[in-house]
Amino acid sequence: MKRALFALALSVMLGTSSLTGIAYAENPMVGGAPMVETKDIIDNAVNSKDHTTLVAAVKAAGLVDTLKGKGPFTVLAPTNEAFAALPAGTVENLLKPENKDQLTKILTCHVIAAKAMAADIAKMAMDDGGTHMVDTVGGCKLALKADGGKVTVTDESGNVANVTIADVVQSNGVIHVIDKVLLPKM
């Protein structure tokens, strides 16, 4: 009996997200699709109906093989709504072949070359006085903040994105869904 209670208590503790306080034993659903921990970032992202614009952009930038690579990566994944909030015509313009370098820069500013779970981000921010600066694969600097169980990311242009779904574990890293597109300082 004691062993069963201990196992139950341990599973509850391990299944609680430090970001949201919601208990779950498996990865959260993203865009109506299950996210499978044994699949890589791309193989999971293509199943999310909320990330079709991001997937199209990753393909146009030629980053599929990179994000299918070993990693580890932390991907801050903007939703379709985040891309739609950009000025009219921005996404269409970025997807043109002649703008591949600019698109690649923007997308790689959403990737950190490490696996950073929400609890890691919160601890780093707390250890650094509330804000932790991080360099991205694209050479951008992002400000990560954790306050009251919420994680935010501020880009070089001052745009603030909220993490809306945290800790989506992948075989080669982790995805945190965000509600804004992060932009490099241009």
Confirm if 155 and 133 have CB atoms less than 8 A apart. no
Q: Determine, yes or no, domain membership for 29.
A: yes
Q: Determine, yes or no, domain membership for 185.
A: no
Answer with the residue of higher pLDDT: 9 or 21.
21
Q: Determine, yes or no, domain membership for 55.
A: yes
Q: Please give the tally of structural domains in the chain.
A: 1
Tokens matching residue 180: 């804004």
Phi, psi dihedral angles at 72 (to 5 degrees)? -80, 150
Q: What is residue 101's predicted lDDT score, i.e. its pLDDT?
A: 96
Confirm if 131 and 89 have CB atoms less than 8 A apart. no
124-164 confidence digits (pLDDT tens):
999 999 999 999 999 999 999 998 888 999 999 999 999 99
CATH code of the domain covering residue 49: 2.30.180.10
Q: How far apart are CA 105 and CA 28, in angstroms?
A: 28
Q: Determine, yes or no, domain membership for 151.
A: yes
Length of the chain: 186
- Token pair 């990566």: residue: 73
Q: Determine, yes or no, domain membership for 183.
A: no
Q: Determine, yes or no, domain membership for 66.
A: yes
Q: How far apart are CA 127 and CA 130, in angstroms?
A: 7
Tell me the pairing of strands 141-147 and 173-178.
Answer: unpaired
Q: Determine, yes or no, domain membership for 186.
A: no
- Please name which of 153, 4, 147 lies closest in space to residue 76, comparing C-alpha atoms: 153
Phi, psi dihedral angles at 104 (to 5 degrees)? -60, -45
Q: Determine, yes or no, domain membership for 71.
A: yes
Query: Domain limits at 149?
Result: 2-178
Three-state secondary-structure class, residue 20: coil
Q: What is residue 148's predicted lDDT score, i.e. its pLDDT?
A: 83
Q: How far apart are CA 79 and CA 76, in angstroms?
A: 10
Percent of the chain with pLDDT over 70: 87
Confidence grade of residue 10 (pLDDT, cut at 50, 70, 90): very low
Q: What is residue 184's predicted lDDT score, i.e. its pLDDT?
A: 93
